[in-house]
Structure 1
Amino acid sequence: MIKRTTLTEKAYNILKQMILEGDLKPGEPLVQEQLSAKLGISRTPLLHALKILESENLIVRANNQRVFVRQFAPEEVLVLFEMREALEGLAAKYITPLVNEEEISTFEESFTKAYLEKNIESYRKADVSFHLFVAEKCPYLDLKSALIRSGFLAKCLIKGLIRPPEETHQEHMEILRCFRNRDPEGAERAMRLHIQKTISCLKNYAGQLPAKGEHAK
């Protein structure tokens, strides 16, 4: 039983990371035989892992029982980010006294290196790592669970970079500056503003979409 649980968790974590990294893309079918062989596990723990991901709405099951990575409509992404503004803003506030200098410097270096080298993929990975760090560092179980459990933050990050590093680099630096200065309220404001700007971008994008029943021109 212990071994099965461990294999299930392993499969779940790998598959979730593959979705976050874009190795498994929205709308892509998940073929159990291929995944089982790739992960080196039997189908039983894989099925359990898929059920967890399905319960988190990261994958969906069609009427024919085929399983796919979930595709998010623009309005669904917008709602997620409006929720995220409040939740991650609070998390940034509460972790401020807990973040150490080494952690701050590591994120400053990873963001800045990717930004200066114009390496979008490295910057995206730094972005995912940073926002997961904020959630996981949160000392309050209910807030931490709201961000991490049920795949909430993963659903926000699955889309990748919505705005370019030229817009977000300084925003990340400001959040880190507030961590270094032990300024909880400033960290919350900086995180909320960071996400608010992305929400504005998402609203602009949604406004350019054709209405239901219309075709894009």
Structure 2
Amino acid sequence: MYHREPKVEMNDLTVLRTSSLTGVIERELEHLILTGELKPGERLNEIQLSTRFGTSRGPLREATRSLQAKGLVESIRNRGVFVRSVSPTEALEIYDVRAAIFGLAGRLLADLVNDQMLAKLNAFLDQMDEIAASKNFDDYYPVNLAFHDYLVTSTGNNTLVKEYKGFVNKLHLARARGLVQAGGLSVSNREHREMVDALASGNRERAQEAFFRHVERSKIRFRSTLGSAESRL
């Protein structure tokens, strides 16, 4: 007997196209926010963004709703949608929780580490050492993010990955160029080497402590850039 394939209605195709377009716009907006092109507190201009992306406002609004769920934007009644600002107090709290999650990542990785992973991690370290010598924040920062992302995703724990990335995204809104201002590029990468050495040892407790301590030190570097804002914490 001949079986007909299920017919896809035009409205179904429209939903698929809209959903795909919304995802693309969401990723583009997230990139603009995390790279600082759209700054904390800045209002998202629907007309300008619709023109930029060549789309109607519907998919754009869907995308901003998703970004609001991620904590990157906030909707203010009768005013519009704004890039979210993270206060110093909230950022310091996020560092504390991030340290605990990142420490757990180190503990999990100590049981999973292999020669291939160590080779890739050491390649990251060598690249960051070279960049740190020139004190080039713009080149260092994306490699630093990729290094941490590789560590976290290598745990294979999707819940951990999701929570960790959510906290990191929020910190993007708060910390700007703290590594450079605190003279911390080379210092930060020395801590990265401590983490990789701890993983290579296969010792869970040592790895967990090295990962936790790295975020704690990052928190100290961030706090040192707050200046007068710190006195208000």
2:46 to 32, 38, 43: 32
SS in structure 2 at match of 1:105: helix
| 1:1-217 alignment runs, 5 A limit | 1-96=15-110, 97-98=112-113, 100-148=117-165, 151-158=166-173, 159-163=175-179, 164-203=184-223, 208-209=228-229, 210-211=231-232
SS in structure 1 at match of 2:178: coil
Q: Quick one: structure 1 residues 52 and 118, their matched pair in 2 at CA, closer, same or farther if it must change by over 3 Å?
A: same
SS in structure 1 at match of 2:130: helix
Q: Quick one: structure 1 residues 182 and 76, their matched pair in 2 at CA, closer, same or farther if it must change by over 3 Å?
A: same
Which one-letter code corresponds to 1:168 in the other structure? S
Q: Aligned partners of 1:102 and 1:6: how far apart in 2? A: 36
Which one-letter code corresponds to 2:213 in the other structure? L
Aligned residue pairs total 210
Q: Quick one: structure 1 residues 51 and 62, their matched pair in 2 at CA, closer, same or farther if it must change by over 3 Å?
A: same
- Native 8 Å contact 2:133 2:186 kept in 1: no
Query: Aligned-pair distance for 1:103?
Result: 2.3
Q: Quick one: structure 1 residues 207 and 109, their matched pair in 2 at CA, closer, same or farther if it must change by over 3 Å?
A: closer
After superposition, the CA RMSD in angstroms is 2.4
- Native 8 Å contact 2:118 2:196 kept in 1: no
After the TM superposition, list the runs of 4 or more consecutive aligned residues in structure 1 that deviate by more than 6 angstroms. none
TM-score, normalising length: structure 2: 0.78
Query: Aligned-pair distance for 1:102?
Result: 4.3
SS in structure 2 at match of 1:25: coil
Structure 2 residues not aligned, in runs of 5+:
1-14
Which one-letter code corresponds to 2:163 in the other structure? A
Q: Aligned partners of 2:223 and 2:87: how far apart in 1? A: 12
Q: Aligned partners of 2:211 and 2:98: how far apart in 1? A: 10
Query: Aligned-pair distance for 1:121?
Result: 0.9
Q: Aligned partners of 1:42 and 1:106: how far apart in 2? A: 44
Query: Aligned-pair distance for 1:68?
Result: 1.2
Q: Which residue of 2 aligns with 1:215?
A: none
Q: Aligned partners of 1:37 and 1:28: how far apart in 2? A: 18
Q: Quick one: structure 1 residues 175 and 40, their matched pair in 2 at CA, closer, same or farther if it must change by over 3 Å?
A: farther
Q: Quick one: structure 1 residues 109 and 84, their matched pair in 2 at CA, closer, same or farther if it must change by over 3 Å?
A: same
- Native 8 Å contact 1:128 1:157 kept in 2: no
- Native 8 Å contact 2:178 2:225 kept in 1: no
Q: Aligned partners of 2:177 and 2:198: how far apart in 1? A: 23
TM-score, normalising length: structure 1: 0.84
Q: Aligned partners of 1:204 and 1:160: how far apart in 2? A: 13
SS in structure 1 at match of 2:44: coil
Q: Quick one: structure 1 residues 102 and 43, their matched pair in 2 at CA, closer, same or farther if it must change by over 3 Å?
A: farther
Query: Aligned-pair distance for 1:46?
Result: 1.6
